[in-house]
Amino acid sequence: KIAQLLTRCHQAQMQVSSQWNDIIGKSLHELSERLAPRLKSGAVPGSMKEVYDLWVDAAESVYGQAARAGAFVQAQAELTNATSQLRSAQRELLEEWARQFDLPTRSELNSIHQQLRDLKAALAARG
């Protein structure tokens, strides 16, 4: 199960990476379209900050469009879901391992911690 979930996480990460690669490529294309008219007219950017600001504007524009697209949202959702399921499966495996070696599990420790907080609250309420 863990191996399957690791594969799923890897595939989801690849999909998200692909989405980011598309965003970066489109952002660079947008930047070149914004710079091209200036460069053709001989008006070079006055500073690297000006080029950087153009890059940020282009990247934000492209990202804004991509972030609302179904493919980007789906890739992010799949990565989130796959990662959450992997974490749950890992936790279940570790709990089972701990039980086999007669060690306290995370859920047992959480239960004891909750009982301790309840006792402290009850003592504080008494005065």
Residue 41 carries which DSSP code?
T
Residue 54's closest CA among 29, 26, 36, 35? 35
DSSP string, 63-107: HHHHHTSHHHHHHHHHHHHHHHHHHHHHHHHHHHHHHHTT---HH
pTM here? 0.70
Share of the chain above pLDDT 70, in %: 100
Task: Judge whether residue 127 has pLDDT over 80.
Answer: no
Q: Which residues of 65-83 are buried (b: 16+ CB within 10 A; e: fewer)?
A: ebeeeeebeebeebbeebe
3, 55 in Cβ contact below 8 A? no
**pLDDT tens per residue across span 41-99:** 988 888 899 889 999 999 999 999 999 989 999 999 999 999 999 999 999 999 999 99
pLDDT given at position 2? 94
Residue 116: pLDDT above 80? yes
Residue 25 has what pLDDT? 96
pLDDT tens, residue by residue, 16-40:
999 999 999 999 999 999 999 888 8
H/E element holding 16? Answer: helix 2-40
